[in-house]
A and B are shown apart, each in its own frame.
Chain A
Amino acid sequence: MKNAEQKPLFESGNELAAYAAKQINYHVMGYYPITPSTQIAEYLDQMGADGAHTIALMPAEGEHSAAGICYGAAAGGGRVFNATSANGLLYALEQLPVQSGTRMPMVLNIACRTVSGPLSIKGDHSDVMYTLNTGWIILFAESPQEVYDCNICALRIAEQVRLPVIVAFDGFFTSHQKRNCYVFKDDQTVRDFLGPCKEQFGVLDPAHPVTVGSYMNEPDIINNKYQLHLAMEESRTAIPAVFAAYEQLSGRRLRTLKAYCCEDAEVLLFVLGSAYLTARAAVDRLRGEGKRVGVFTLGVLRPFPADEVAQVCRNAKTVLVADRQDSYGARGGNMSLEIRAALQKSGATVRVISRIYGLGGRDFYEKDALDLFSLGYDENTPDFDYIGKNEGDTHFTPKPYFAPITEKKASGLITCTEENGKVLVKGATVRETLARPKRLAPGHGACPGCGIPVNVNLLLRGIEGNVVLLFQTGCGMVVTTGYPKTAFKVPYVHNLFQNGAATLAGLSKMYHQRQARGELPAGEITFVMVSGDGGLDIGMGSAIGTALRGDPVILFEYDNGGYMNTGYQLSYSTPLGAKSATSHLGEVSVGKGFFHKDMPRIMAATGMPYVATAAESDPNDFIRKAAKAQHYAKSHGTAYIKCLSACPLNWGDRPNTERRVIAAAVDSCYFPLYEVEQGITTLTYDPEQKGKRIPVEAWLKMMGRTRHLCEERYESVRQALQGEVDRRFERLKIEAAHPKL
């Protein structure tokens, strides 16, 4: 059979995953951005904006929900796609066995990345190994070309054995590296290879009602799981058959196990992913020196090809298994453990040495492969170790640059008194708080003109005494704590994107517990959570929970209107119509498709004692609100402040103009300044009263991300946004005028 017509491209793994998805034209992709897999959704959005596919891209508010969208869509009988990495995968992990256990095929791409913490965005295999027990078939691609090929085969395998399939590949090394590659010239070639989508159960077929997701205990669940096991066993023949059919079509053969110079080798190396290619270069070099070495890798991790592993190792004296992750305490990464088990089962007496390498994206050089091979010839080398670790400089004791900020030094500038349910603040101005020591040190890595440190500093100016900070993942966290340095001069904790408020609640509770037990001295610490970059999309549940419990903490949101830490994808607070990497402009797309989230209103609905919005364009008001938040957190419960935070890089404006841009957002009433104090709303600045109200267009035209909305062809979008801004502001004015609201 003649191969189908193909065309050459020069693309990365992420681009090719997206390209395959476009050619398949999946029905639905539920996703949530996380480095390094984000580009897959970005490229699909870009192509979709120009009408290259009709996939419904659904940006969830977190990976757990993204997986939920995918599950629901799969239950609807169509074709479903997703991509994620690292902690995003782990956040979605609970949904994976649901998907496989109820036998809903779909394809999930994993651009493999280090699992936090400490947080690293770089590539290793610590995330994908968590999926070994989920009942998903797992393909592993070594190159961008294989990412493309695997993505097409994956769906056919999935639909054939009724199991979901993961396509995993190295984050960055494969996801971001551009290589020569081939794709099918005609999308129809791919669609013909897959055939029509045949559904098993028709949840969308009222004529044949079916219950998906039974409540099932003993004696039945074991049968369900045995069915899943049988499907995995079936895939042992189905996968090579699909690979063979794909070879007929493409001329390229995917393999469950790939071996290079293994036939007569006495020392074998196993590595997974892009390192396999580098190791082949080392094999060539050593073969040139007459050493009998070889390397092998797996293209399929589930079902685990144990027989093939045993077969390829049958003549070797030593097998060196290098894992890019560790199963801590097991003395080997997961591949090492599985290969050992496979060899034991086959009765082989080969010596197996396990090594951990390349964690957190540490590069794998040819020299590393050569070093590994040399271990194979070393009789005395330990069975298990890490390579590439660094002892450090034993003479290094860093000297403090600053004296700690004592409670006394940070106090005495502002006083708050409560009268008739209102808090009166004295001393909360820029001038009067100039003496407040800065809790942040300079030298952090935020972009020039970034609003985050500006807003954090304004907030902290209003806060007296000891402060403990918690940042959720985001730009603010990344640019301040790049190891081995930190910009924080006060105690600080990071926790992941969705969990900051709860973490801080636990921390503050421990403080009060230990004080109550006499373990810590009397005194006060103000606990502040800082989140932005969409952190109160994915972290909204945790923030609401904290507010409902009334934990004595301040929740501070810097709203920069997008996921800026991952390169500006839309968040729920991105303005309607704004451009982002997941809301492109195009022939069939007009930027972000829904209104900005009204987070202060959501928080106010919890009945928390203090909710406020603040803007750097009115710094005195900002400091005053911070002081009130501290007062309420101390005496009444949780306080929440949200500010609009400028992002020159992604808003597309000049760094020096940011305070004016923020002022325009306030004057246009896109971001009105108000507070809700024990349920009573006060408008703290009314641009109409001051004669300063401007149309929202005047703000939109200041930023590259929204400037297009001022063109005539986007008039309806602009008007919709203006209408929503007007509606929200009218409601606010009514609430502010009413004595009980």
Chain B
Amino acid sequence: MNDRYSDEKMHNGAAVTLPCVNENGCYEMRLESIGGLGANLCGKLLGELGATYLGLNAAAFSSYGSEKRGSPVKSFVRYSTRGSEILHNSPVERPHLLALFHGALAGVLPVTAGVGENCALVINTSATPDQMRHELRLHAGQIYCVNALQLALESKSRANMVMLGAIVRAAGFIPLEAVKSLITDTLGKKYPAMLENNLKGLTLGYEAVESKEFSPDEKYAYVPYREVRSKWGYATAPIGGANPHYGSTVSNDLSPSREGFIPLFLPEKCIHCGLCDSTCPDMVFQFTRGEYRGRSAMMNRGLDYHHCKGCLRCVDVCPTEALVAGKEAEHRDKKWFVRNKDLIVENIDFEPAGADASVTGEAYLDEKRVDGGLM
């Protein structure tokens, strides 16, 4: 019998008291992440925690269709007391707690939209709360910084376990013991070998937060949560959904999809064989005609890193080690960064984007992600 259903995880103790609720009687959380960091699972765990360990009504859902690696994901959690039904099914606009699973999350609307002074922000970063407030242009709120990647490595756990610990700490009303029971009962049953590390990651996250409160001092304006609207509307869009703006994905800056590594180009070693171009899914390599060994040839002039997702396929096929893997953090000024050669515009207003979203099934992904390897 599958353990997800076989077990009763009834809350034995008294229900917790929610420290604050909105006008609908709900305590609300929003987790912002990119696919692959486990925010979706973390949101579900928080929901399950509320429903079966804290004696609350809970709801958990994610921004749907956003399950690809590298794509932006939002996860929403609502709590209310048992007597108060959760009626809303829409995204969390003004969270009591916001968790940022990635330091540099992209989006048209800032991830901190709707964050007011009573909000706790949990951020996965090696920076300090002061630095993060500045970076996020945050109006106000209590910032909790935690280096989840580092602590995940230390505990041989995953970043979402560390983040869960930090979230529980920042929320203030959730007993850590209840979370430990949840992890033991759910992930622990499925993956017993990882339980100890996961509990360690959770505890490290709980303990290692660095916190500071920022009052609304007019430094940065409050940004309300709003729906992102397209420039093409019913009065302006070509009919039928036709899109005459051919090749327009070129204005996506996919750097946020990368997970720390980039290919480095050593042109003196390049023999212009073109294998890199034949394996690159993202059309990053810029070949133009030139003269190689006295003959007219297409020559590799460099990479347009705007579109590189860091898959390192090119490094794997390069026969001369003209392409090697490097840590992006150590190569901020990418020497062989050349612009896409086919562009006919002077400037592009790049939109930061992750790899797009379409994978919607979860059963298989959950299993695989917990199995590990993605961190």
* A-to-B contact residues, CB < 8 Å: 7-10, 12, 19, 33, 35-36, 38-39, 42-43, 46-47, 50-52, 117-118, 121-122, 170, 172-174, 176-180, 274-275, 277-278, 280-281, 285, 361, 363-366, 389-394, 396, 398-404, 430-431, 434-435, 437-438, 440-454, 457-458, 475, 478-490, 564-569, 579-581, 616, 619, 648-650, 652, 655-660, 704
Contact = CB atoms under 8 A, between A and B. Distances in A.
A430 B278 contact: yes
Given A10-B48, A364-B89, A485 B234 contact: no
B68 A649 contact: yes
Contacts of A9: 5, 52
B132 interface: no
Contact of B236 (A366, A392, A648): A392
A450 B360 CA distance: 17
Given A392-B237, A394-B235, A434 B246 contact: no
Nearest to B348: A401
B51 interface: yes
A363 B91 contact: yes
B15 interface: no
B316 interface: yes
Contacts of A401: 245, 247-248, 250-251, 343-345, 348
Nearest to A404: B246
B198 interface: no
A478 B345 CA distance: 26
B283 A442 contact: yes
A475 B359 CA distance: 8
A578 B240 CA distance: 40
Interface in B101-125: none
A656 B283 contact: no
Interface stretch (B55-63, B170-178, B202-210): B55-63
B60 A364 contact: no
Interface string B86-110: 1111110100000000000000000
Interface in B1-41: 1-2, 5, 8, 10, 23-24
B65 interface: yes
A389 B281 contact: no
B233 interface: yes
B348 A447 contact: no
The residue among A274, A430, A451, A481 with the most chain B CB atoms within 10 A of its own CB is A430
Contacts of A659: 279, 313, 316-317
A231 B68 CA distance: 47
B89 A400 contact: no
B250 A441 contact: yes
Contacts of B258: 448
Given A431-B274, A485-B249, A486-B249, 9 more contacts: A7-B10, A121-B64, A280-B87, A363-B227, A434-B287, A445-B357, A446-B356, A449-B309, A454-B278
14 contacts: A38-B360, A51-B1, A176-B62, A178-B51, A365-B93, A389-B233, A398-B245, A431-B274, A442-B282, A442-B340, A448-B69, A567-B359, A567-B360, A655-B313
Interface residues of B, number: 108
A7 B247 contact: no
A442 B58 contact: no
Contacts of A391: 233-236
Interface stretch (B138-146, B152-160, B211-219, B362-370): B362-370
B356 A478 contact: yes
Contact of B65 (A38, A121, A648): A121
Given A484-B248, A567-B362, A52 B283 contact: no
Given A435-B298, A448-B311, A564-B359, A122 B278 contact: no
B59 A178 contact: yes
B289 interface: yes
A48 to B, nearest CB: 9
A442 B10 CA distance: 51
B316 A657 contact: yes
B234 A447 contact: no
Nearest to B86: A179
B338 interface: no
9 tightest Cβ-Cβ pairs between the two chains A and B: A567-B361, A445-B356, A392-B233, A441-B247, A392-B236, A443-B249, A118-B241, A449-B311, A581-B364
The A contact surface, by secondary structure, is loop
Contacts of B297: 431
Contact of B360 (A36, A46, A50, A457): A36
B247 A39 contact: no
Contact of B343 (A364, A402, A448, A652): A402
Contact of A392 (B90, B231, B259, B361): B231
A101 B26 CA distance: 48
Contact of B61 (A43, A178, A440): A178
Contacts of B283: 438, 440-442, 453, 457
Contact of A448 (B57, B88, B272, B355): B355
Contact of A649 (B69, B229, B253): B69
A50 B249 contact: no
A441 B64 contact: no
A485 B280 contact: no
Interface in B221-236: 227, 229-236
A456 to B, nearest CB: 9
A8 B69 contact: no
Given A401-B251, A403-B344, A481-B243, A443 B307 contact: yes
Nearest to A486: B243
B60 A363 contact: no
B48 A178 contact: yes
Given A445-B71, A581-B363, A122 B87 contact: no
A581 to B, nearest CB: 4
Interface string B249-285: 1111110011100000000000011110111111110
B281 A580 contact: no
B179 interface: no
A484 B232 contact: yes
B193 to A, nearest CB: 16
A372 B60 CA distance: 27
Contact of B247 (A50, A488, A649): A488
B315 interface: yes
A33 B128 CA distance: 46
B181 interface: no
Contacts of A567: 67, 359-365
Given A401-B343, A482-B356, A430 B64 contact: no
B49 to A, nearest CB: 9
A177 B61 contact: yes
The residue among A10, A454, A567, A569 with the most chain B CB atoms within 10 A of its own CB is A10
Contact of B313 (A39, A430, A569, A656): A656
A443 B8 CA distance: 47
Interface in B328-361: 340, 342-345, 348, 353-361
Given A178-B44, A449-B281, A402 B311 contact: no
B321 interface: no
Interface string B287-314: 1010000000110000010110111110
